[in-house]
Amino acid sequence: MQQLLNTALGGLTLGMVYAAFALALVLIWRSTRVVNFAQAPMAMVTTFVALVIVDAGHSYWLAFAAALASGLVLGAVIERVVVRPVEGGPEINAVILTLGLFIVLHALAAVIFGNRYRSFPAPFGVRGIEVGGTTIALTGFGIFTILAVLVTMGLLLLLFQRTDIGLRMRASAFNPEVARLLGVRVGRMLTLGWALASVVGSLAGLLIAGGSLVHPGYMDSVVVYGFVAAVLGGLDSPFGAVVGGLLLGLALSFVSGYVGSQLVALAALVILMLVLVLRPGGLFAQTAARRV
């Protein structure tokens, strides 16, 4: 019973991170029709920025803010400088480009920050909370993780649904030409979209790193499962990304605990194929799904 609960809680926390990461991928996909494989190393780089600040003796929260801010800048710069030329071009070119970025960022991080394990601090306890004499696998930081992702989602929802800038961003994503005709500076919106997505990705990176170990490759499995989660939910649906992330986090945790950790990836494949065979556009594909 306790194992069941703990496995579920572990899966929930991990699922939240996958959800955040998938959300970042969906934001970028929606705005620029690019699957950003470089999302993981981008987040990794910002996590290292935070680590440098912590190492310099500053507080966790300053480092946290700096990582998010550097995520914002990194996302904007990458979109503007590297990704802009391939937007609207053949899909595969964008894929290869972000894969290339993936490799470059990885290699750069190894050169600059060193290729070794380092511990990353957590602002809250990493000890499980006691409920009625038994400890459950939910730490202060775990709660923070869940809350942070929920709050981020709420903020994004507000931004997109309730503000003019959100409306502009959505319009740019859905129909850039019409958006231009209506006076929306589409280029800026796309850059902003990447910047925001990169912030969300950075958040996922910080949450995975918190109270654990980081090295240049620490996000690599997240890119796979985050992408699978996004596809699972339907790449156009932020809601789907979140559901996909949670579903995947829980399912994989149970497979790892009760079947075997070798089969985690296989389980991800099976779940994905089951969903895609029934719904080729993901769980939350819009009925008016656009043919790309």
The single residue listed with the structure tokens 């050169």 is: 111
- DSSP code for 263: G
| Contact flag: residue 104 with another protein (CB under 8 A) | yes
**Closest distance between another protein and the C-beta of residue 9, in Å?**
9
| Contact flag: residue 50 with another protein (CB under 8 A) | no
Among residues 281, 283, 284, 248, the alpha carbon closest in space to that of 267 is found at: 248
List the structure tokens of 176.
């850039």
Query: Using the rule CB under 8 A, which residue among 23, 97, 148, 250 binds another protein?
Result: 97
Query: Which residues between 55 and 74 bind another protein (CB under 8 A)?
Result: 60
d(CA 116, CA 137): 28
**Closest distance between another protein and the C-beta of residue 52, in Å?**
14
| Contact flag: residue 164 with another protein (CB under 8 A) | yes
**Closest distance between another protein and the C-beta of residue 45, in Å?**
14
Amino acid residing at 171: A
Query: Which residues between 169 and 188 bind another protein (CB under 8 A)?
Result: 170-171, 173-186
Stretch of 63-71, 144-152, 167-175, 199-207 lying at the interface with another protein (CB under 8 A): 167-175
Q: Would you mind telling me the total number of residues written for the chain in this entry?
A: 292
Stretch of 66-74, 90-98, 144-152, 191-199 lying at the interface with another protein (CB under 8 A): 90-98
| Contact flag: residue 203 with another protein (CB under 8 A) | no
Contacts of 95 (CB under 8 A, 6+ apart): 35, 37
Count of residues near another protein by CB under 8 A: 117
Residue 212: strand pairing partners: 120
| Contact flag: residue 33 with another protein (CB under 8 A) | yes
Residue 58, SS3 per DSSP: coil
| Contact flag: residue 123 with another protein (CB under 8 A) | yes
Query: Using the rule CB under 8 A, which residue among 52, 143, 212, 239 binds another protein?
Result: 212
- In the bound state with another protein, the residue whose beta carbon lies nearer, of 124 and 150, is 124
d(CA 76, CA 89): 19
**Closest distance between another protein and the C-beta of residue 23, in Å?**
15
Among residues 75, 90, 119, 95, the alpha carbon closest in space to that of 213 is found at: 119
- In the bound state with another protein, the residue whose beta carbon lies nearer, of 93 and 155, is 93
| DSSP states of 83-121 | IGGGTTS-HHHHHHHHHHHHHHHHHHHHHHH-SS-EEE-
d(CA 127, CA 211): 10
| Contact flag: residue 111 with another protein (CB under 8 A) | yes
Query: Which residues between 125 and 144 bind another protein (CB under 8 A)?
Result: 125-128, 130, 134-140, 142
Stretch of 62-70, 146-154, 192-200, 267-275 lying at the interface with another protein (CB under 8 A): 267-275
List the structure tokens of 110.
């190894």
